[in-house]
Amino acid sequence: MGVSADHPATLEAFTKQNNIHHLLLGDFRRQVLSGYGAMETNEASPIYRYAKRAYFIIDRQGIVKYVKVQQNPLDLLNPDEVLEALKAAGA
């Protein structure tokens, strides 16, 4: 599943346009993102509050097994790193 700070209507359009089949959740009020340390609040920034690109692997018991929060929201995680983290988490 993915979580985004975008409005739910934006996520719905993005899902349809890109033929995405996994669940995307909208955190438009930024409650989840800040709870996981994936929210940047910087008064010097013209955006002020924005979501960082972050990756979490959480098991079925709700235990966080992997965390990677990118400082630059344009940086993507290497897919091999995600697969390795999934294997290490027992997925």
Through-space distance between the first and last CA atoms of the chain, rounded to whole angstroms: 14
**For the chain, how are helix, strand and coil distributed in percent, rounded to 5?**
25, 25, 45
Q: For residue range 46-72, what is the model confidence (pLDDT) as tens digits?
A: 777 778 888 888 888 888 888 888 887
Could you tell me which residue, 22 or 48, shows the higher pLDDT? 22
Q: How many CB atoms lie within 10 A of CB 57?
A: 17
pTM: 0.68
Alpha helices by DSSP H, 1-91: 8-17, 31-35, 79-88
Name which of 59, 44, 61, 55 is nearest 78 in CA terms.
55
**CATH superfamily, with its number, for domain 2-88:** Glutaredoxin (3.40.30.10)
Mean pLDDT of 24-50: 81
Q: Where are the domains of the chain?
A: 2-88
